Amino acid sequence: MSQTDRPRIHLRPNKNAQPLRFGAPWAFADTLVLDRRARNLAPGTLVVLEDGERTPLGLAAFNPASRIAARMLSRDPDEAVDQAWFEARFARALALRETLYDAPFYRLIHAEADGLPGVVVDRFGDACVVQPNAAWAELLLEPMVAALRTVTGVSTVVKNASGRARALEGLDAVSSVLAGALDGPVDVPMNGAIYRADLEGGQKTGLFYDQRPNHAFAARLGRGRRVLDVFSHVGGFALAALAGGAQAALAVDGSAPALALAGEGAARSGVAERFATRQGDAFEVMADLAEAGERFGLVVCDPPAFAPAKPALEAGLRAYERIARLAAGLVEPGGYLVLCSCSHAADLAKFRTASLRGIGRAGRAAQILSTGEAGPDHPVHPYLAESSYLKAVFLRLDG
């Protein structure tokens, strides 16, 4: 379809178009002229996005029901979005991952940063899990999946429809296997350990690849020490630490299925005799461990996003402070503490300040050793701070 046939949406006259010209991936609804014609367009419609003077800025996917009303797909307003278009983007993303990793276990598509706004694809060997978190991607799921299979050669593709992002786009929460078949959880080798990922019923896509480099760094700190992995999911930090020579590890999580998978991973990694789990509320478990006089050489806390958006920021920072206070009390003198946040709204400075306040209130002195972020299979879009969401602060505690 040429741009003469596509609907046109334009910025309000007083809105600066320069960020979009320079590569910004979004236009919010309050920056656009949304007349009756625009509001009647179906979510996911491909449009020509124009500046306030009606000069084309490029091709965008439009959703009048979303706060992110326009997502840029191309600077060429005439470009066809078909299977070949998807294949080109998948091939570019695959080339990067094959440069970075020796085995096909990684995040293949990190949304806007890989040129597919609102789309996440994680690869697990011969299977991929796709999260089409934007209306345009849901509409074009068939050519997207066909392109994915053509480029990667995977036989199984799972659609994961969980999470708040789809709800914000007006999409359903129905997940399904789109191609091939699964026979239970799959093995994922990473950092010397073998993890078990449930691609159909697990959290998000089944495993969090973003913490891979932070798992590795923490494993060095845990050598010869007892490790406590709080909010462990399927044993992310604990199994890496055991593979790296930790004396023992205790994984704490509220999900029994996640801890069961962690146990399976420990068995497959040959470290089951040094691994234990405890199900329960993380705050309560940490308080109970402190009351029992337990101390660990390495404590890691990797909670869910307590501040996913600005309205939750203050409450989220208080939660991070509380976690730091409880966790610091469980670290032996000279031991290590790793605190993580995946909250978009809490930047590194705010998160670190809240964490240090909690450590201080626990009566502990700290050295900051390093700050970690997501691995390189989660590239950062230079005009989208949200794509740099993960923070990990590594500390040594005295006293």
Q: Which domains can be identified in the chain, with CATH numbers?
A: 8-74 (2.30.130.10), 83-179 (3.30.750.80), 186-398 (3.40.50.150)
Contact call for residues 278 and 260 (beta carbons, < 8 A) = no
pLDDT of residue 317: 94
Which residue, chain included where needed, has tokens 């029901």?
Answer: 65
CA-to-CA dists, residue 130 to 5, 162, 175, 371, angstroms: 30, 11, 10, 29
Rounded Cα–Cα distance for residues 279 and 46 (Å): 47
How buried is 215 (Cβ within 10 angstroms: 0-12 exposed, 13-18 middle, 19+ buried)?
Answer: buried
pLDDT tens, position by position, 56-69: 999 999 999 999 99
Structure pTM? 0.94
Contact call for residues 186 and 123 (beta carbons, < 8 A) = no
pLDDT tens, position by position, 264-322: 999 999 999 999 999 999 999 999 999 999 999 999 999 998 988 888 899 999 999 99
How buried is 110 (Cβ within 10 angstroms: 0-12 exposed, 13-18 middle, 19+ buried)?
Answer: buried
Catalytic (active site) residue 301: no
Mean pLDDT of the chain: 95
pLDDT of residue 2: 53
Rounded Cα–Cα distance for residues 251 and 236 (Å): 9
Angle (CA) 212 115 164, round 5°: 65
Given the residues 128, 301, 340, 342, select the one marked as catalytic.
342
Amino acid at 57: L
Of 301, 360, 367, whose CA–CA distance to 335 is shortest?
367
pLDDT tens, position by position, 123-146: 999 999 999 999 999 999 999 999
pLDDT of residue 32: 97
How buried is 8 (Cβ within 10 angstroms: 0-12 exposed, 13-18 middle, 19+ buried)?
Answer: middle
pLDDT of residue 123: 98
Mark the ranges of the chain whose per-residue pLDDT is less than 70.
1-4
Angle (CA) 262 386 231, round 5°: 20
